[in-house]
């Protein structure tokens, strides 16, 4: 893989929020993605993260319902016809949590890159209902949900632009526009 191939993958790995609810993602693909998370770097190699695959109703609907999507937009989020095919809920063992949030970011990015490499789309989500998820997923006492990664086949277009205004928006063609700060802003 060349640097340009990698940059292309990272560039195309955007957070999608509108999916084809009828698209099927195999359980094996989801396990493959957890495998990428499993081998991710971890502070002191503590490995506090645990993963729950949710690809079947009614659990899937219960995970989907509390989520808040694209709070910058005046939009209520995807309908049930636009919901993702599956979720990977990223959890932590509360006995090992020292750098869990950093580890989770690394693991989620690896999942995001992996699903793109599989021709899938996704979104990282912090807006989860931790208490509800714990009950719905019947998690053990010491395991706490932190994030969810939505996975499916996106039906929306995303374009990345360079701008010092970081607010994402939808353009007149309903494409989702994601501004990224120019290099001159971030390179100190
Ligand atoms: C840790 C984290 C949590 C996020 N939580 C949410 C969320 O709850 N709802 C949502 O719609 N997007 C969420 N996002 C997606 C961000 O809004 C998105 O990354 C940002 O708009 C930039 O778009 P991009 O990922 O395509 O570059 C989250 C992203 C990250 C990294």
pLDDT of residue 97: 82
85/38 Cα distance (integer angstroms): 22
Which residue minimizes the CA distance to atom 19 of ligand 1?
15
Ligand 1 centre from 18 Cα, in Å?
13
pLDDT of residue 81: 97
**pLDDT tens profile 137-167:** 999 999 999 999 999 999 999 999 999 999 9
Averaged over 131-142, what is the pLDDT? 97
Phi-psi region of 174 (alpha: psi -120 to 50; beta: other; left: phi over 0): left
CATH code: domain 3-155 is 3.40.109.10
Fold of 157-188: putative fmn-dependent nitroreductase like fold (2.20.180)
Q: Which residues touch 150 (CB under 8 Å, ≥6 apart)?
A: 16, 17, 19, 67, 84, 86, 87, 122, 123, 125
Quote the percentage of the chain above a pLDDT of 90.
98
Ligand 1 centre from 125 Cα, in Å?
6
Extents of the domains making up the chain: 3-155, 157-188
Ligand 1 centre from 13 Cα, in Å?
12
pLDDT of residue 91: 98
25/17 Cα distance (integer angstroms): 16
pLDDT band of 61, cuts 50, 70, 90 = very high
Determine the residue of 125, 170, 177 to mutate for testing ligand 1's pocket, defined as the one with the most ligand atoms within 8 A of the Cβ atom: 125
């Amino acid at each position: 893989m060349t640097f340009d191939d990698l940059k292309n993958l990272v560039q195309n790995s955007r957070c999608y929020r509108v999916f084809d609810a009828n698209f099927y993602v195999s359980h094996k693909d989801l396990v493959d993605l957890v495998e990428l998370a499993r081998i991710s770097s971890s502070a002191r190699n503590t490995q506090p993260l645990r993963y729950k695959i949710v690809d079947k109703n009614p659990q899937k609907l219960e995970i989907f319902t509390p989520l808040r999507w694209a709070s910058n937009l005046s939009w209520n989020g995807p309908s049930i016809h636009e919901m993702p095919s599956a979720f990977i809920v990223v959890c932590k063992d509360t006995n090992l949590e020292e750098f869990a949030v950093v580890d989770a970011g690394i693991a989620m990015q690896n999942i995001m890159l992996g699903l793109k490499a599989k021709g899938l789309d996704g979104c990282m989500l912090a807006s989860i209902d931790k208490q509800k998820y714990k009950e719905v997923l019947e998690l053990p006492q010491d395991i706490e949900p932190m994030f969810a990664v939505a996975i499916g086949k996106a039906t929306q277009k995303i374009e990345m632009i360079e701008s010092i205004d970081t607010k994402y928006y939808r353009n007149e063609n309903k494409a989702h526009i994601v501004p990224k700060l120019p290099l001159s802003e971030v390179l100190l």
